[in-house]
Amino acid sequence: MRILLALLVALWAPAAGAQTLQDLLQQEPEAISDPSRRTVGEVLDRLVDSGLPEVPVFLERWQGKEVWQRKSDGLFFYAEEDGDGHVLYDISTGEEAGRTGPRELSELKPNAGVRGVIGSALIEFQLSDPDPARRQAALDAIAKDPAPEQAAPLRASLEGEEDPDLMARKERLLALLSARFDEDPAARVAAIEALGADISVEARAVLNQILASRPAVAATLPEDANVARLLVPGSADLPREAAYVMLVEAGLAPPRVTETEIRDALVASIADGMVGETPVATLGTDAARHAAYDAIAPARGLPPRVTEAEVDAAISTHVFWQGYAEPDATVTAAAQRALGTAETRVALWQGADLLLDAVSLASIYFLAAIGLAITFGVMGVINMAHGEFIMMGAYTGYVVQTLVPDYTLSLLLALPLAFAVTFAAGVAMERLVIHHLAHRPLETLLATFGISIALQQVAKNVFGTQARPLTSPAWLDGAWVINDVAGIAYIRIAIFVLALLFLGLLLFILKRTRLGLEVRAVTQNPGMAASLGINPDRIGMLTFGLGSGIAGIAGVAIGLYAKVTSEMGADYIVQSFMTVVVGGVGNVWGTLAGAGLIGGFQKGVEWLNPSNTLAAQTFMILFIIAFIQVRPRGIVAMKGRAAGA
Partner 1 sequence: MTTAPSSTLRPRFVIAGNSSVLWALLVLALVTVGATVLAEAGMISTSFVKTLGKTLCLCLAAIAMDVVWGYCGILSLGHMAFFGIGGYAIGQWLMTARTTDIVTQNLAGQPLPPTPREIEQAVASQIFGVVGADDFPWIWAFSHSLALQLLMVVLVPGVLAGLFGWLAFRSRVTGVYLSILTQGMTLALSLWLFQNDSGLRGNNGLSGLQNIPGLDQWGQDRISLLFLWASAGALGAGYVLFAWLTSGRRGSAIRAIRDDEARLRFLGHGVEGLKLLVFTLTAVVTAIAGALYYPQAGIINPGEVAPLASIYLAVWVAIGGRGRLYGAALGAALVSLLSSWFTGGGAPDIPLGFYTIQWTDWWTVLLGLTFVAVTLWAPKGLGGLFDLVPSRKPRQGDWGPDDGAWRREEGQP
Partner 2 sequence: MTALLHVDSISVSFDGFRAINDLSLTVEPTGLRAIIGPNGAGKTTFMDIVTGKTRPDSGRVLWGEKAQDLVGLSESRIARLGLGRKFQRPTVFEAQTVAENLDLALRNPRQPLRVLFARRTADDRARALAIAEEIGLLPHLHRRAGELSHGQKQWLEIGMLLAQDPRLLLVDEPAAGMTVPEREHTTDLLRRAAETRAVVVVEHDMEFVRRLDCRVTVLHEGRVLAEGSLDHVTSNPDVIDVYLGR
Q: What does the binding site for partner 1 look like in residue numbers (CB under 8 A)?
A: 259, 263, 266-267, 270, 280-286, 289, 376, 379-382, 384, 433, 436-437, 439-443, 445-447, 449-458, 460-461, 526, 570, 574, 577-578, 580-581, 584-585, 612, 614-615, 617-618, 621-622, 624-626, 628-629, 632-634, 643, 645
In what order do the strands lie in the sheet containing 227-231?
213-218, 319-324, 227-231
Closest CB to partner 2 among residues 531, 611: 531
Q: State how beta strands 319-324 and 278-279 pair.
A: unpaired
Q: Decide which of partner 1, partner 2, none touches 577; Cβ closer than 5 to 8 Å per partner kind.
A: partner 1
Closest CB to partner 2 among residues 213, 524: 524
Provide the minimum distance between the beta carbon of 443 and partner 1 in the complex, in angstroms, as a whole number. 5
Query: Does 641 interact with partner 2 (rule: CB under 8 A)?
Result: yes
Of 509, 523, 516, 629, the C-alpha closest to 586 is 523
Query: Does 640 interact with partner 2 (rule: CB under 8 A)?
Result: yes
d(CA 44, CA 61): 14
Closest CB to partner 2 among residues 251, 644: 644
Q: Which DSSP string corresponds to 315-379? A: HHTSEEEEEESS--HHHHHHHHHHHHHHHHHHHHHHHHHHHHHHHHHHHHHHHHHHHHHHHHHHH
3-state per-residue secondary structure call for 352-368: HHHHHHHHHHHHHHHHH
Q: Decide which of partner 2, partner 1, none touches 442; Cβ closer than 5 to 8 Å per partner kind.
A: partner 1
Closest CB to partner 1 among residues 382, 542: 382
Q: Is 160 left (phi over 0), alpha (psi -120 to 50) or beta?
A: left
Query: Does 298 interact with partner 2 (rule: CB under 8 A)?
Result: no
Provide the minimum distance between the beta carbon of 255 and partner 1 in the complex, in angstroms, as a whole number. 20
Q: Tell me the H-state helices in 182-307.
A: 185-195, 201-210, 240-249, 259-268, 286-300
Provide the minimum distance between the beta carbon of 525 and partner 1 in the complex, in angstroms, as a whole number. 11
Query: Does 639 interact with partner 2 (rule: CB under 8 A)?
Result: yes
Provide the minimum distance between the beta carbon of 281 and partner 1 in the complex, in angstroms, as a whole number. 6
Query: Does 644 interact with partner 2 (rule: CB under 8 A)?
Result: yes
Distance from CA of residue 332 to its chain's centroid?
29
Q: What are phi and psi of 535, to 5 degrees?
A: -90, 105
Q: Decide which of partner 1, partner 2, none touches 263; Cβ closer than 5 to 8 Å per partner kind.
A: partner 1
Q: Decide which of partner 1, partner 2, none touches 629; Cβ closer than 5 to 8 Å per partner kind.
A: partner 1
Q: Decide which of partner 2, partner 1, none touches 382; Cβ closer than 5 to 8 Å per partner kind.
A: partner 1
d(CA 595, CA 575): 9
Q: State how beta strands 213-218 and 319-324 pair.
A: antiparallel
Q: Decide which of partner 2, partner 1, none touches 641; Cβ closer than 5 to 8 Å per partner kind.
A: partner 2
User: Which residues are CB-contacts of 556 (< 8 A; sequence separation ≥ 6)?
Assistant: 393, 394, 396, 397, 411, 414, 415, 418, 470
In the chain, the amino acid numbered 13 is A
d(CA 469, CA 476): 15
Q: Decide which of partner 1, partner 2, none touches 93; Cβ closer than 5 to 8 Å per partner kind.
A: none
d(CA 57, CA 38): 22
Query: Does 527 interact with partner 2 (rule: CB under 8 A)?
Result: no
Q: Decide which of partner 1, partner 2, none touches 266; Cβ closer than 5 to 8 Å per partner kind.
A: partner 1
Closest CB to partner 2 among residues 164, 644: 644
Residues lying near partner 2 in the complex (CB under 8 A): 639-641, 644
